[in-house]
Structure formats: C-alpha cells, structure tokens
Structure 1
Amino acid sequence: MQVDPRGPRFGAAVTTAVLVAVLVTGSWALLAAQAVVFGFATFLGLRYAPYGLAFKVLIRPRLAPPRELEDAAAPRFAQGVGLAFALVGVAGYATGITWLGIGATAFALAAAFLNAVFGFCLGCEMYLLIRRFTAKDRSEREVPA
C-alpha cells in the first residue's frame, strides 16, 4: 500500500503534542490512549489509524496532490516501535516506576518530534536497516546453482 508521506508526518505532529502532554501531566491513561492509536496503525494499517483518518478527512482535501507516495511498510513499522515505547511507558507510570514511564515517553517523543519537524522518521530508518541486513544475510546463505 502506498501512502501520502504528509499523513504520517501529520500523525507525528499530533503524537508530539500528546506525548508532551503526557510528560507534563504524568498521565498513564493519556499514554495508554496514544498506545491504542499506535496499535491501530500497527495492526490495522495507517489508513485506519485515528490520526490517519483525521488527515484523510480534514487535511488532505485542502492540499495539492502529493508529489510522490511512499510504501506504508516503514511508517507502519515505526508505529509498532512507538507502540512498544508507549506500552513500556504505561507500565512504568502504572506501576510507580515513574522514571521508566518518563524515559520511554521521552524516547517516543524524540522520534515523533524528528518526524513532525524535520521529516526524519527514525522508525522508518530502523525498518530500512533491518531490511537491508536481513536481505544481505539471506543472499549470503543462498548457494549459487
């Protein structure tokens, strides 16, 4: 599936605001809500994620068509990374290990901020590196005929 790259960037901007609010309030419930958003994007796809739907309905109709589309696999993987950090953060806040909640939330915030402001998707880059290394490993294991 191909996606407008401005959609994930919009989602990253909203995520940035949510994660700042989590750090300011220490609300594990708000972080859990963000984890649900990450979960939708990870397991159902970007087009069914709440921020993706908001972009599709509210923002994209007001923009010119995108110059190019990108494969959804990398941003979807990035949402999975965000989900992992959010779940660790929720566990930290909910169990009273506040430093864990703050740390995990701060890492997720840094990644979302990089994408929202600079268009640098850290999770997407991780995905590409993993794909590159696993493809290289597979090609080295294959025996030429």
Structure 2
Amino acid sequence: MTRPTGIDPRGPRVAAGVTSVLLVVVLVLGGGVAGTLLLGLVAASFAIGATRGVSATWQAALFRAVVRPRLGPPAELEDPAPPRFAQLVGLVVTGAGVVLALLGVPAAVPVAAAVALAAAFLNAAFGFCLGCEIYTLGVRLRHRSTAA
C-alpha cells in the first residue's frame, strides 16, 4: 500500500500560531540580548523547516502530539513544497534580523520580528500563507517563461 504524499495543512497553521506567540514575545523583549536570542531560536526553527521540511520542526511535533489526535483526518493533504519555501522566507527575514542585531543595528530585531509576525499571523488566523503564495507565483512565472 502506498503512503499518501503531502502534509496535513492544519499543521503549518498551528506552527504559525506558535511562531506568532514567540514573535510577540520577541517584540515585548525588544532588541536586547533576550529578544535577539529568542529571534535566533525562531530563525533556527525556520532553518529546520527550510532544510528538512515543515514536518521536521518542533512545532510539527507539538501538533502531532497534542493537536492532531483531537482532530478528524484532514479533508485533503497539501504539497509540502510551498510551506517549505515559506520556512525559507521566514529564515531569511529572521536570520537577517539576528545578523544585523549582532552587527549593531538596534532596530533589526523588532523590525524582523514584526515582518515575520505579520506573515505568521496571516497563516495562523486566516490560512493565508504569504510564503506559499510567493512560491506559487514563482512557479507560474517559471512556467510562463519556459512556454514563451
């Protein structure tokens, strides 16, 4: 029997909710050492999601252990590539914030956290994955350029 490919689309939404909470805490902590360290943790989580896939993150493990057993099966599975790309976008934003903070840019942490929070909140609250939409746009543009 073949195993279905794809991921439960509710998992990335739950992960985005957890990430949103962490990013709010980063904003409360500000650009000091604690805020920079927490943003670094968020960036590390994005790095795992970008390199190994969203199912490999600690947020996905939390979803599988706590949330998923309380839900029915998903109506359909989702292609893991767009959420994985969204993790890369999150890594670029939060990673840039951490690097710039380490280089002495005081506003880097709150600005990066705010941008990442906007995207994470859109996904968690409304199911709108900004990184996934960028991925889909890229695929369309790539197909358009090869067809021409």
- The TM-score with structure 1 as length reference comes to 0.93
2:108 maps to a residue whose letter is L
Gaps of 5+ in 2: none
* Inter-partner Cα distance in structure 2 for 1:95 and 1:87: 12
Distance 2:46 2:144 in 1: 30
| Alignment-derived partner of residue 11 in structure 2 | 7
Corresponding residue number in structure 1 for 2:76: 68
Identity, in percent, stands at: 46
Mapped pair 1:78 → 2:90: no
Which residues in structure 2 correspond to 1:1-145 (within 5 Å)?
Answer: 1-26=5-30, 27-140=35-148
> Residue type matched to 2:133 in 1?
E
1:98 match: secondary structure = coil
Report SS of the residue matched to 1:65: coil
Please report the TM-score for the alignment, with normalisation by the length of structure 2.
Answer: 0.91
Gaps of 5+ in 1: 141-145
Aligned-residue CA RMSD in angstroms?
1.0
Query: Aligned partner of 1:35: which letter?
Result: A
Q: Is the 8 A contact 1:10 1:55 kept in 2?
A: yes
- The number of residue pairs the alignment matches comes to 140
Distance 1:3 1:50 in 2: 15
Equivalent residues of 1:91, 1:101 under 8 A apart: no
